[in-house]
Structure 1
Amino acid sequence: MSEPVHSPGTDPGAAAAVAGIETVACIGAGVIGGGWVAYFLARGYRVRAWDPAPDAHTKLRRTIDAAWPALTELGLAPGADPDALEMAPTAADAVDGAGFVQESAPEDLDLKRALLAELAAATGDDVVVASSTSGYPMSDMATAAADPSRLVVGHPFNPPYLIPLVEVVGGRDTAPWAVSRAAAFYRHVGKSVIEMDRELPGFIANRLQEAIWREALHMVAQGEATVEQIDLSITDGPGLRWPVHGPCLTFHLAGGEGGMGHMLDHFGPSLKSPWTRLEAPELTGRLRDDMVAGAHASAGGRDMATLVAERDRAIIAVTRAVAAAREAGHA
């Protein structure tokens, strides 16, 4: 198991430090980078972008134009301007004067190492450089940087202008204040942040996504289910519950009044059932106790009846909203 790389929330002045940021640099303007550009513009920032592709500006404008109606519907920040964008000739020019840097280059480790080293050298000692990497630990990406202390992972989800989650974690040589400041900045711009305690390849959400994806591929390969059946099994099944409580609190409710403890004691043996191609961990006493304690902490004092009512209201709302969106799309 990896060692903790920082303690979340170690910079009490992080919120104040990010409040004065006016310009954000976006390095890489592909699908993810372009989504970040659109989001930062919608939050009222000036954005300097750099991408080596000769048609990067044209593609970026298309991304912004396509995203702007949704961002407008969500609510623009005062002064938000889709034209508050400058394309810089070099990465160093893009980060000059920027208060925060979001790197979204392709998932190539050597490229990431060289680019992050360049960005770290070109920015001030109070500017955080965050990488949108979807899987590499920062400890692996920061090896070429003379000063890796301000390099963090800020992993978004596609499209970054709509999906709120960002997973934030530093590397072995990242300063704790840089992680806290990155998390504070993302919260300041309206993101939902997981400030991770330790590095984990693929982070949290991607590992969970990958588990479902691998099992889906196995089922299709073995002729056990079709693509349509697999998608419907999530969209009209457990996927409706997850926006409300996520998989852990969902199983907490599955235990009834006994909660997570009863669910694990009753269904624990089924973990060894050959339902998936993934090997289940041993359900030790410590793992059981950690899951029970975690479920109670996640419930935040809400009793089972309150959680059930919350889930039911939200599922009804999500179901109606999805149905309305589909109906509008067919109109």
Structure 2
Amino acid sequence: MSELPVPGSDPAGQPVSAIRTVACIGAGVIGGGWAAYFLARGLRVRAWDPAPDAGDRLRRTIDAAWPALTELGLADGADPAALELFPTAAEAVAGADFVQESAPEDLALKRALLAELAAAAGPGVVVASSTSGFPMSDMATEAADPGRLVVGHPFNPPYLIPLVEVVGGTATQAWATTRAAEFYRHIGKSVIEMDRELPGFIANRLQEAIWREALHMVAEGEATPEEIDRSITDGPGLRWPVHGPCLTFHLAGGEGGMAHMLDHFGPSLKAPWTRLDAPELTTALRDDMVAGAQVSAGGRPMAELVAERDRAVIAVRRAVEAARAAGGTGG
């Protein structure tokens, strides 16, 4: 009788570079995007989806994504034909080294499917869910082996946007979240390994806050959808590719950084600018924001950060303008 793995240890016993085959369960927009990305990284993909036309749809998705993936750079051995479809989810998972589930956002469906996948996966194989909002603790309730279940939440389209948020549930073993995060990093993803569950995770919650305010403004006749979109694409969106909102506000404080910005503009948090309640700007929150900005800055002086931001904004603007011009001329 084989020994059970020590809690927190990796029963796979192999580096993530040994992962060569991924099962993609669900071949819709997200699952298909994942499949294209895995193939571009030189991996083999075993796919399953219950839709009758799933195979044709998946191949169309991969074909559509391949030019962009080629431009970004393909891994050695990348082959869009390294794809095999299976009649059942269990069969697809049986020969995989890693599993990416991308079924519809239906909690009952997720629970039953993840239980099936966890039972079918081999020893040391992580089963990651692409869920956009459900905590794994809520999805893993029917699994006999929930220790290998993690959230691996991508941002759409997965073949193009690098972000993946990784977090386990209360029954997830530490080795599973660590292995999932290491695997995603190995194949070129930007990974946030969260230390606690949060419905909607990080990126979706921030995106949803802007979306809700946009809907309020349209509903009240305060702004049009076009004005809202332009306010981001020609405003803060140009800064965000290089500096996120926290580091952006750190720069807004000038030489005083985040501390000066919070001390100076803190009272405006209570101004009725949005329909979202502002948190109380306690000393602890202020100190956490200042310390976090310093970590993000990495010890670089303000002048260097400003120069980096300016170069990036100029590059982004030129790239977007060039893409629009090419599209307008049919190029």
**What is the deviation of 1:14?**
9.0
Go from structure 1 to structure 2 and tell me whether the alpha carbon gap of 1:11 and 1:248 turns closer, same or farther (over 3 Å shift).
Answer: farther
Separation in 2 of the partners of 1:74 and 1:15? Answer: 32
Instruction: State the SS of the aligned residue for 1:282.
Output: coil
Separation in 2 of the partners of 1:121 and 1:138? Answer: 16
Separation in 2 of the partners of 1:61 and 1:39? Answer: 13
Go from structure 1 to structure 2 and tell me whether the alpha carbon gap of 1:165 and 1:53 turns closer, same or farther (over 3 Å shift).
Answer: same
Residue matched to 1:56: 54
Conservation of the 8 A alpha-carbon contact between 1:15 and 1:181? no
Instruction: State the SS of the aligned residue for 1:101.
Output: strand
Structure 2 counterparts to residues 216-227 of structure 1, below 5 A: 216-227=214-225
Structure 1 position 208 matched with structure 2 position 206: yes
Separation in 2 of the partners of 1:327 and 1:180? Answer: 44
Structure 1: gaps (5+ residues): 1-9
Structure 2: gaps (5+ residues): 1-7
**What is the deviation of 1:297?**
0.7
> Paired residue for 1:23, among 11, 21, 31?
21
> Paired residue for 1:172, among 166, 170, 173?
170
* 1:153-191 deviation line (CA, Å, top 9, x unaligned): 000011000000000000000001100000000001100
Separation in 1 of the partners of 2:146 and 2:66? Answer: 35
Residue matched to 1:252: 250
Separation in 1 of the partners of 2:20 and 2:292? Answer: 38
Separation in 2 of the partners of 1:46 and 1:328? Answer: 34
Separation in 1 of the partners of 2:201 and 2:9? Answer: 22
Residue matched to 1:277: 275
Separation in 1 of the partners of 2:31 and 2:70? Answer: 19
Residue matched to 1:155: 153
* 1:180-232 deviation line (CA, Å, top 9, x unaligned): 00000000110000000100000000000000000000000000000000000
* 1:70-110 deviation line (CA, Å, top 9, x unaligned): 00111111111100000011000001121000000000000
Structure 1 position 41 matched with structure 2 position 39: yes
Percent sequence identity is 83
Instruction: State the SS of the aligned residue for 1:168.
Output: strand
* 1:215-254 deviation line (CA, Å, top 9, x unaligned): 0000000000000000000000000001111000000000
* 1:267-294 deviation line (CA, Å, top 9, x unaligned): 0000000000000000000000000000
Q: Comparing both chains, which one has the higher relative contact order based on Cα–Cα distances under 8 Å and sequence gaps of 6 or more?
A: 1
> Paired residue for 2:312, among 311, 314, 318?
314
Separation in 1 of the partners of 2:300 and 2:171? Answer: 39
Structure 1 position 98 matched with structure 2 position 96: yes
Q: What is the TM-score with the length of structure 2 in the denominator?
A: 0.96
Residue matched to 1:234: 232
Which aligned segments of 4 or more residues in structure 1 are displaced greater than 4 angstroms? 10-16
Question: Aligned pairs, how many?
Answer: 322
Structure 1 position 266 matched with structure 2 position 296: no
Conservation of the 8 A alpha-carbon contact between 2:10 and 2:124? no
Residue matched to 2:183: 185
**What is the deviation of 1:21?**
1.0
> Paired residue for 1:124, among 122, 125, 131?
122
Conservation of the 8 A alpha-carbon contact between 1:166 and 1:192? yes
Go from structure 1 to structure 2 and tell me whether the alpha carbon gap of 1:11 and 1:315 turns closer, same or farther (over 3 Å shift).
Answer: farther
**What is the deviation of 1:125?**
2.6
**What is the deviation of 1:15?**
10
CA RMSD of superposed structures (Å): 1.3
Residue matched to 1:137: 135
